[in-house]
Chain A
Amino acid sequence: MAMDELTREFLIESQEGLDRMERCMTDLEARPKDGSLIGEIFRSVHTIKGTTGFLGFKRLEKLAHAGENLLGLLREGKLVADRPIITGLLQLLDGLRSILKTIETESSEGDGEDAELICRLDVLQAPAKALAMQAAQVKAGRSPAPQEQASPQPAAALAQPRPTAAQTPQPVELAPAAAEAESDAAKPRSAQAQAGAAADSTLRVDVTLLNRMMNLVGELVLTRNQVLQATSADPNMTVLSRRLDMVTADLRESVMKARMQPVSNIFSKIPRIVRDLSQGLGRRVRLQVEGQETELDKSLLEAIKDPLTHAVRNSLDHGIELPEARQVAGKNPEGTLKLRASQEGSHVVIEVSDDGAGIAVEKIRAKALERGLISSERASGLGERELLQLIFLPGFSTAASVTNVSGRGVGMDVVRTNVEKIGGKVEIDSWPGKGTTLRMRIPLTLAIIPALIVHSLNQSFALPQGALFELVHIPEDQATAAIEWMEDAPLYRLRGKLLPLVFLDRLLKPGGEHADFAARDNFIAVLDADGRRFGLVVDGLADPEEIVVKPLSAVLKDIGLYSGATVLGNADLALILDPGAIALKAGISMSREEDGARASEEEGEADAAKNMEYLLVEVGGRQAAVPLKDVLRIEQLPLSRIEYIGYRAVLNFEGQLLPVEDTGGVLGEGADYSATAEGSQRQIVVVVCREGQRHVGIAVSHVLDVVAGADLFEAGTRQRTGGVTLLKNRVTGVVDMSAVAPLPAVEEAPAEWAEAGV
C-alpha cells in the first residue's frame, strides 16, 4: 500500500490539527465565547479542507466544508457554541477522523455516506441564517463588535430561537478547576505562538529511529561503565574518561528528552470520554486535571493510554453515584474525577481518583473466596489494603455481578497487566462512601535505571534504587546479636521497629547449603515495595551503577524474581532483582504505615505529605539537616583522603573532584595532629549531595538519623522560613549547598592531581 509522501504528510498534519481541535473543543465547552479557541478550531478544519481539495479527496472536502461554514458563523459571533453545536462539532471531528483513518489504511476515502452529518451541521447553522435579517436590524440599532466579549451576548441571545438551548450557555460539568482553567487558557495560546516560531526549527523523526538511538546509547553507557572501571587506576586516562562520562550522560539525556512527551497528549482524550460517558450514564461529573506538563517516554505514554481510559470508565461507571444518590448521601450531586500526574524520582505517578461510593472490602473478600481465588485462612489474614488489591486478580473481573455488588472490578486485571508490562505498578485505595484512588507508577524510561549492585552466592545482582530506602551494615562480630529470631523468622531492630528480613542466598537457593551469616559481614538493604517494607540481607555491596535493562527470555521471566538482566561495568552479567516479587515470595505483607499517612493527611491536608525528609547530622557539636532527596551517598573515609587546592578542601571521589564543605570545622578538628600517621588515619564522614547539576560533599562528625521535617512559620505570619526546619521538635538549620562555591579552574585540577599521585 504505497502512499505518496504528500498524502502521508497530509495525514500526519491533519491528525495533529484534529488533536488540537479536540483539546480546544473541551475548553470551548467551558468558555463558549472564547474567540481564540474558535479560531483555532476553524483553522484546523480549514487547513484540512484546503489540502483535500488539492489532493482530490472529495468526500473529506465536502464534510470539512460543511463544518467550516458552521465554524465561520461561530467565529463571526452569529452563533454561540451551545451544547448541540458542540456535539455537532465533535461528530464532525469523529467523521473527519474516520475518513482519515480510511485513507491511511486503504489509500482512498472509502464510500461512506456523510450526508446525514452534513445535513445536521447545516441545520445547526439555520437559526443564524433565519435571523440574519433580524440581526441586521439589531446591528443597525447598535453595532456590536463581534469580537468583544460583552456585546455579542445580547445579539447571541437574540439569535437563539431554539428553546432547548440555555440562554446563557453554561454546560460547565467538565470545567476544570477554576485555577486550572485560567492557566489552561493562557497555555495553549502561548504554546501556539511558540509552535509558530518553532515550526521551522523542528522536524519529524521516525520513532523506530529514536528507538534504535536509545538502544545504541544503552550500549554506549555499558561501554562507558567498562572504560571507567578499566581506566580508574590510570591517572593519564582520568581526564579522557571523565569527558567520555560527561558526553555519554549528556547524549543519553538528550536522546531520552527527544522521546519525552507531556502526559497532556493522553490526558487530552479524557474530557471527551468523561463528557460522553457521563451523559450516557446520567452522572454529573467535574473533571480536574493536574500536572499535564509532566513528561514521559513516548512508548510508555502509548502503553498507559488504554489502562488510563479503562480506569476513568470504571470511575464513572462504578465509582461516582447518580446525582440523586449522592444527594441522599449528603454529597455534592456533581461528582469529581481527578487526574493527576507528577514525577517522583525516577517514576511518574498517575492518579485517577473519584469521590464516589468506594469499594466495600468485605464483599471483595467474599467474592474472592467464592471464586476460589484465595484460601479462607489467607483471606482472614489479609488486611484491608491487601484485600483491595485482589480486584486485580484475573479471575476476579469476569462476573458482572461483582460490579453490581462491590462497585468495581471489570477488567482491572487488564489495567494491571498493561502497566506491569512496562515495568510499572498499580495500586488501589478506597474509602467506602468517600471514593477510590487508582495509582499507576510508571518508570520514566524503560532502558536505563540507577541500581545498587549487591553480592550473594558469589554472584552480582542489581537492586533498583527506586525501592531502596537505606543500607545497614552489620559487621561479622555483631551479626549474631543484631539479627534476632522469632522462631525461624529473622528480624532486625531498625530504629526501635522490627523489620522482617529476607536472606537473599536462602531465598535463591532453598534447601541448599548456606554460609553461616554470623561468620561474615552482612548488609541489610531496606526496601519498600508497594508498602511492603523489609530488609534484604546480602553479603556484599558494590558501587551503584546506572544499568541498562535487558529483557529476559520468557523461561526466566517465569521465575518471577527477576525483572531483567544487565551487563555491569566489569563486563559481568547481573540479574536485576524485583523487590516486589521478593516481598511476595517471602510472604512479607503490607505495612499499615500508609493508613497512618492517610489519617495525618486528612488532618493536616496535603501539607503532611509534602513534608521533606532530612538526614540529621552532627557537625562540630551542632545538629544540622540535609534534605534527603539530595543525598547521593554517605562516605566514611580516612582524613588523609581529603586534599587541598589552596584553602579549598576537595575529595577525589570516583575519579571526580568533589568540593568538600566544612562549615563545622570537622576537618580541622584533627589539624594539630593531622600530620602524624595516627591523625591522618582518623575516619571522617562525607555526605555526598546533589546540588543542581554538580555534586558537593559536606563534612560531618556523625550521621544521626533520617527524620521528617516540618515547616516553620515566623510568628504572626504565614511566611515559611527558609534555611531551618523542625526536626524532632528541635529547630535545625538546613545546610545550604548552593553556598558551596564552585571549584576554580576545574579543567586543570585533575592534572595536578595526577602528578600528586593520588
Chain B
Amino acid sequence: MSASTAVKRKEKIADTLVEMCSVRVGQTLFGVPITHILEIVGSARPQPVPLAPRFVGGLVHYRGDVLTTVSLRQLLGLAPKDGPQDILVLESAGGCFGLLVDSVGEVLTVSSADHEPNPSILDDRRKALFAGAYKLKDSLLVMLDPERLEPMQLSQADRSAARS
C-alpha cells in the first residue's frame, strides 16, 4: 500500500498545493481556485433579466459596472432560492462575471495529489460543468472551472445541446 503511494509520488514529482474558496450550493461543497476570484460580494439581490437564458441569475451593480451573474442553482437544476445570495466575482478569458451561490465558506488548501477526474456515472451536463473533485478528509470538494461557467460558454453549450 505504502509502496504504491511512493510510486505515485515519484511520478508527480512536485505535488502542487492549490488554494480553493469553498462555496456551498444545496448539499454540495464546491471549490473555486482563488486565483480566479476578484472579489466576494455578500448578500446581493440580483435584478432579474426577462427572456435571458435560464442560467442567468440576474444583474448586479459592481464597481460602476453592470455584472451578469450565473446561478449555480439553476445550472444544477435546483429550485431558486429566495432571499439574498453571495456572489463570487470571477475573471475568465471572456471577461468578468458573477457566480451566485448559497453561501461562501472558508479557503481550503488542497493538494493536486488528492484530485480525481469526474466519475463516469455523472450525467453529461454535470460532467461538462465540473472539473473533477478533491478528496477531503470527510467529504468531497467539487472543483469548478471559471472558464466553463462563463455565460457565453454556457450559452454556446446550450445551443449545441439543443441542436443535437
Asked, given contacts A553-B95, A555-B152, A556-B68, whether A509 binds B50 with beta carbons under 8 Å apart, the answer is yes
Q: CB within 8 A of B49: which of A551, A556, A564?
A: A556
Asked, given contacts A459-B48, A565-B66, A573-B47, whether A553 binds B61 with beta carbons under 8 Å apart, the answer is no
| A219 vs B155: C-alpha distance when bound (angstroms) | 31
Contacts of A550 in B (CB 8 A): 64-66
B59 and A565 contact, CB distance less than 8 A: yes
Closest Cβ neighbor of A461 among chain B residues = B50
B134 contacts the other chain (CB 8 A): no
**Please, what's the 1-or-0 string for B124-150, where 1 marks a CB less than 8 Å from any CB in chain A?**
000000000000000000000000000
**Please, what's the 1-or-0 string for B64-105, where 1 marks a CB less than 8 Å from any CB in chain A?**
111010000000000000000000000000110100000000
Closest Cβ neighbor of B64 among chain A residues = A219
Closest Cβ neighbor of B51 among chain A residues = A559
Closest Cβ neighbor of B69 among chain A residues = A553
A637 contacts the other chain (CB 8 A): no
A137 contacts the other chain (CB 8 A): no
Closest Cβ neighbor of B47 among chain A residues = A573
Closest Cβ neighbor of A558 among chain B residues = B155
Contacts of B117 in A (CB 8 A): none
| A572 vs B44: C-alpha distance when bound (angstroms) | 12
B66 and A555 contact, CB distance less than 8 A: no
Interface size on A, as a range, is 20 to 34
Contacts of A575 in B (CB 8 A): 47, 49, 59
Contacts of B94 in A (CB 8 A): 554
A573 and B61 contact, CB distance less than 8 A: yes
Closest Cβ neighbor of B151 among chain A residues = A555
Closest Cβ neighbor of B49 among chain A residues = A556
**Please, what's the 1-or-0 string for A559-587, where 1 marks a CB less than 8 Å from any CB in chain B?**
10110111100011111000000000000
Contacts of A567 in B (CB 8 A): 61, 66
**Please, what's the 1-or-0 string for B52-65, where 1 marks a CB less than 8 Å from any CB in chain A?**
11001001110011
A215 contacts the other chain (CB 8 A): yes
| A559 vs B48: C-alpha distance when bound (angstroms) | 14
**Please, what's the 1-or-0 string for B21-58, where 1 marks a CB less than 8 Å from any CB in chain A?**
00000000000000000000000000111111100100
A508 contacts the other chain (CB 8 A): yes
- Shortest CB-to-CB span from B126 to chain A, Å, is 21
Closest Cβ neighbor of B60 among chain A residues = A573
- Shortest CB-to-CB span from A236 to chain B, Å, is 28
| A552 vs B59: C-alpha distance when bound (angstroms) | 9
A707 contacts the other chain (CB 8 A): no
| A561 vs B68: C-alpha distance when bound (angstroms) | 16
A457 contacts the other chain (CB 8 A): yes
| A245 vs B53: C-alpha distance when bound (angstroms) | 39
Asked, given contacts A509-B50, A572-B47, A575-B49, whether A555 binds B155 with beta carbons under 8 Å apart, the answer is yes
A553 and B50 contact, CB distance less than 8 A: no
B66 and A573 contact, CB distance less than 8 A: yes
Closest Cβ neighbor of A219 among chain B residues = B64
- Shortest CB-to-CB span from B114 to chain A, Å, is 34
A553 and B64 contact, CB distance less than 8 A: no
- Shortest CB-to-CB span from B62 to chain A, Å, is 10
Q: CB within 8 A of B52: which of A215, A222, A551, A559?
A: A559
| A508 vs B51: C-alpha distance when bound (angstroms) | 6
Closest Cβ neighbor of A504 among chain B residues = B50
| A551 vs B151: C-alpha distance when bound (angstroms) | 15
| A508 vs B49: C-alpha distance when bound (angstroms) | 9
| A564 vs B65: C-alpha distance when bound (angstroms) | 11
Closest Cβ neighbor of B67 among chain A residues = A553
- Shortest CB-to-CB span from B50 to chain A, Å, is 4
Within 8 A of B (CB), among A32-53: none
- Shortest CB-to-CB span from A165 to chain B, Å, is 60
A554 and B152 contact, CB distance less than 8 A: yes
Closest Cβ neighbor of B53 among chain A residues = A555
- Shortest CB-to-CB span from A121 to chain B, Å, is 52
- Shortest CB-to-CB span from A233 to chain B, Å, is 23
| A558 vs B154: C-alpha distance when bound (angstroms) | 13
| A552 vs B56: C-alpha distance when bound (angstroms) | 13
**Please, what's the 1-or-0 string for A452-485, where 1 marks a CB less than 8 Å from any CB in chain B?**
0000010100000000000000000000000000
B47 and A555 contact, CB distance less than 8 A: no
B59 and A573 contact, CB distance less than 8 A: yes
- Shortest CB-to-CB span from B152 to chain A, Å, is 5
Known: A215-B64, A222-B64, A558-B155. 8 other contacts (CB 8 A): A509-B51, A552-B68, A553-B68, A553-B152, A565-B59, A565-B66, A566-B66, A573-B66
Q: Would you list 9 pairs from A and B whose C-beta atoms are within 8 A, ordered by A residue?
A: A218-B64, A219-B64, A459-B50, A555-B155, A556-B49, A559-B51, A565-B66, A567-B66, A573-B61
Closest 6 A/B residue pairs (Cβ): A508-B50, A553-B68, A555-B151, A573-B47, A550-B66, A565-B66
Which residues of B line the A interface, CB within 8 A? 47-53, 56, 59-61, 64-66, 68, 94-95, 97, 151-152, 154-155
